[in-house]
């Protein structure tokens, strides 16, 4: 499994969170939780933006 390192595009904070317990890694498809905050649009009901927990800046995501 590839370590999916993520950084904030604004302040370059490390967005990799806690390690996901081994038994749950498959369900999440990742080894670590992420610290970025998903912003859902009311219209589309899916995450359209991400927010950095450190600098509070937002960016378009997928």
> Binding residues for Zn ion, per CB under 5 A?
8, 10-11, 13, 52, 54-55
Residue 52: φ, ψ to 5°: -80, 130
Residue placing its CB nearer to Zn ion in the complex, 25 or 49:
49
Residue 50 Cβ vs Zn ion, minimum distance, rounded to whole Å: 10
Residue 61 Cβ vs Zn ion, minimum distance, rounded to whole Å: 13
Long-range contacts of 59-62 (CB under 8 A, 24+ apart): 59/9, 59/10, 61/36
Residue 44 Cβ vs Zn ion, minimum distance, rounded to whole Å: 24
């Amino acid at each position: 499994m590839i370590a999916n390192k993520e950084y904030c595009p604004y302040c370059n904070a490390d967005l990799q969170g806690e390690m996901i317990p081994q038994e749950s890694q498959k369900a999440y498809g990742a080894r670590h939780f992420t610290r970025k905050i998903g912003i859902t649009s009311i219209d589309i009901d899916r995450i359209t933006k991400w927010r950095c927990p450190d600098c509070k800046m937002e960016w378009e995501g997928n």
